[in-house]
Each structure stands twice: as C-alpha cells, then as structure tokens.
Structure 1
Amino acid sequence: MKTDILAFGAHPDDIELGCGGTIAKLVAEGKKCVIIDLTKGELGTRGSDEIRHQEATESARILGVSARENLGMKDGFLINSEEYQMQIVTMIRKYRPEIVLANAIDDRHPDHAKAAKLVSDACFLAGLRKIKTVNEGKEQEVWRPKQIFHYIQWKHIQPEFVIDISEYLEKKLEACMAFKSQFYDPSSNEPVTPIATKDFYESLTYRAQDLGRLSGVAYAEGFTSEKLIALKNFEGIVL
C-alpha cells in the first residue's frame, strides 16, 4: 500500500492528541493516512488494553484513516532495540510513506521521546538495501520517507511550523474523546489522572488556539522537523 502519511504513536491516543486535526485535514484533502500504535497502552491507569483497542478503532473511523495497526511493544519499556527497529522498518516498507509523523522529541512520558528516536532510526534503516525484511511471505523493497515530523504533546516545545486545523478542531476533539476511558468523564469512578481532568480537555482547544493566534489562523497544531524544510514557493503559506 502506497501511503502519503504514516503516523506513529507510542500509545493509542498519542496521535489524536498531538496531530489528530492534521490527520483529519489530510484525509479530507484526499491523502492516504495510516496510523501505527507501538504499544497497547496496557499500563494506563484507566481502562484496559482491550478497551483502548476498541476506542482506537472508533477513533480511526472518525479520522477516516486507511488503516490502523498495533505492534504490541511493551508499554512503559520502549527501547531502541534491533527487534523494535525491525518491526517499524517492516511497517515503513509496507506502507511506503512520503512523510512520517512521530512522537514529541521530549515529553513528560518517557515512552514518547524514546518512540521519537526509535521511529527516526528505523526510518533511516528502512532505506538500507542490505537490511532484509519480509511481509506476508514476500521480501520487501527498501523505502525511506522524505520527511520526519514530530508532533507536540504535553510539554510546550517551540514548533518549527504549524498546520492550520481551523476547520478540523471539532474532528480532532471527537477523535480524542473516542478514548472515553482515558479522558475527562465526571461519571467515571476510575482514578483521576493528569489527562483525565476537565482542565486537560480544555487545553486541547486553547493550546491549538494559541498556536493559531501566533500564526494568524483560528487553530493550529505544531511540529518540529528533523531537517531544514525547503519551500518551492510561497504558495500555501497563510499570510
């Protein structure tokens, strides 16, 4: 499957929180987007990995992505190992994306920064011809994405560019709240976590609004880039 965007998240809901509006916008523009969750989020205080799987499936439907897979890596103990790298290499070669989106380069949850480096390294390795991988019984061709962009999560990281999601904020919120077990629910009897508060839910809007304020749009999501971005011209820039 040739894919435009392959989005990786350490946990189910990382992508929705970090770049759900961008994914929704790209899908609406006709881009083929696929989500890969590295872990099942089984160490999460609320819910269970089974519940999160159901929620991830519903969120994928809301966003309209072409596919969503879970690699079943160990939640809380992500390491930049050959085993994990090769799993990601196989996904990159399977979906052949032009752009990869990955976790924040630094964040509150240690899995996030680890996932950022793990995915970045795997993107490089996926382009090496002497590394052999097999998918569905067939040897895969090499593939290296053109760009790797990291979305922003809990910590305030200065973005290097933003995507205007003004028309897709509601879709982002809907996709996030598909994870009912994880976020604010006044009727829930489960323990309250930092992301299960009303304040956190409201932050999804006001953080996007603040990036929008700084960039001249209503709402935006921010990204960092692993390499300098070159523009062919000024078309597409919000002035």
Structure 2
Amino acid sequence: MKLDILAFGSHPDDVELGCGATIAKEISLGKKVGIVDLTRGELGTRGTAEIRDKEAEKSAKILGVAVRENLEFADGFFVNDKKHQLEIIRMIRKYRPDIVLCNSVDDRHIDHGKGSKLVSDSCFLSGLIKIDTKFDGDDEWQDSWRPKYVYHYIQWKSVVPDFVVDVTGFMDKKMEAIQAYASQFYDPASKEPETPITSKNFLDSLEYRARDLGRLVGVSYAEGFTVERMVAVNTLSNLM
C-alpha cells in the first residue's frame, strides 16, 4: 500500500497531539495516511503498554488512518543507530510516503528529539540504493524510497513554526482522537499519579495553541510545523 503521508511518533499519542487535526483534514481530502509508533509507551506513569495498544487502535479508527504499526522500540532507551534506522527504512520503503511527519526537533521528553533525528536520518538513508532491506519471511528486496518532504510537528515546547496548516473544522476530531487515550490525560476521577500531561490545563493548551496559531494567520485554528530544508511554492498566490 502506497501512502501519501506517514506520521511517526516516539510514543502512541504523539502524532495525535502534534498533528491530529492536520491528519484528519488530509484524510478528508482523500489522502492515504498511516501512523508508525516507535515504542509502546511502556514507561508512561499511567496505564500499561497493553492499555495504550488498545487506545492507539481506537484513536486510529477515529482519525480514519489507513494503517497503524508499532515498531516496539524500547521506550526511553532507543537510540539512533543502524539497527533502529533499518527498521524505519523498512517502514518507509513499505509505504513509500511522499510526506513524512515526525516528532519535534527539540522537546521536553528526550524520546521526542531522539525520535525526530532517527526518523529524519532514516528518510535520507532510505533513498540509498546500496542499503538492502526486506521483511522477515519476504523473498523480495525492497526498492529504495526517499520521501519528498520531512516535516516536524510541535509538541510540549512552544517552537516557532516555519509554516502552519489551517485546521479549522478538524479540532473536534483531533480532541476526540486524543481522548481515546483515556489512561493518559485529564480525568478528575483518576486515582493514578499526576503528570505534566494529565492536567486540564494541558488538555486546554492544545486548543488555545491552535487558536493562537490560527489567529496569527487569520483562521480559527492552525497546527504548526518546522522544516529541515526550504519549502517552495509554485506561485505567490499559493501563499495564504
């Protein structure tokens, strides 16, 4: 299956938090989108890996993504090395996305920055024809494939975006997908320990950040992204 967009997250829920509304909008426009989680989030203070597996599946159905996979890297301890790069290269070559979305380049959680660099490096390496990959049990070698664009969504830190996407009309879908992770976010009835992301303020911040980015460009809601290389447009009229 060829995908238009493949979104990577270090943990289940990273993608929804960072660019869930953008994904919902792209799917509504007929684009095929997939999600690959690097870890199962097993070190999270709340819930378990098994609970988060089920929550990720529920969230994927809400967004309507074509596929969701988990590479089961070690939460907190995966590194940017050949072993991990090859696993991501296999995913990129399997789905051949034109666009890859991945974690913020700089963030509070150490896995976010690590995941960002790991995916970015793998996108480049995936285009090298002398790197041979195939899945276990497959007889055929994969063809090389390099995504045209790699964009980084924004997470905990208020990183200044290089561009924003108008997601007006899709915030409700984003919040519904996020709240599928019932073990992770604000729940006044929960008896589990509090974390920086379990407060109502954090949940509210997702909306007011989108509102503020939207305000800056004259729309109701927007999600921001950073780029690694210059973004080009065909004509000036392509800019809002």
The two structures have a TM-score, normalised by structure 1, of 0.98
Letter of the structure 2 residue corresponding to residue 26 of structure 1: E
1:148 maps to what in 2? Answer: 150
Counterpart CA distance in 2 for 1:60 and 1:6 is: 13
Letter of the structure 2 residue corresponding to residue 149 of structure 1: Y
The offset of 1:237, in angstroms, is 3.4
The two structures have a TM-score, normalised by structure 2, of 0.98
State the secondary structure of the residue aligned to 2:46.
Answer: coil
2:207 maps to what in 1? Answer: 205
Counterpart CA distance in 1 for 2:189 and 2:69 is: 31
Counterpart CA distance in 1 for 2:91 and 2:27 is: 20
Contact preservation (8 Å) 2:12, 2:40 = yes
| 1:122-160 deviation per Cα after TM superposition (whole angstroms, max 9, x unaligned) | 001100111000135021000000000000000010100
| 1:25-82 deviation per Cα after TM superposition (whole angstroms, max 9, x unaligned) | 0000000000000000000000000000000000000000000000000001121011
Identity level (%): 59
**What does 1:91-130 align with in structure 2 at a 5 Å threshold?**
91-130=91-130
* Number of residue pairs the alignment of both structures matches: 238
2:221 maps to what in 1? Answer: 219
Counterpart CA distance in 1 for 2:215 and 2:78 is: 36
Contact preservation (8 Å) 2:233, 2:239 = no
1:44 maps to what in 2? Answer: 44
The offset of 1:204, in angstroms, is 0.7
The offset of 1:235, in angstroms, is 4.4
2:196 maps to what in 1? Answer: 194
> Where does structure 1 lack aligned partners over 5 or more consecutive residues?
none
State the secondary structure of the residue aligned to 1:68.
Answer: strand
Letter of the structure 2 residue corresponding to residue 67 of structure 1: V
1:68 maps to what in 2? Answer: 68
The offset of 1:236, in angstroms, is 4.6
> Where does structure 2 lack aligned partners over 5 or more consecutive residues?
none
Counterpart CA distance in 2 for 1:84 and 1:122 is: 9
| 1:202-231 deviation per Cα after TM superposition (whole angstroms, max 9, x unaligned) | 001000001001111100000001110110
Over the aligned positions, Cα root-mean-square deviation in angstroms equals 0.8
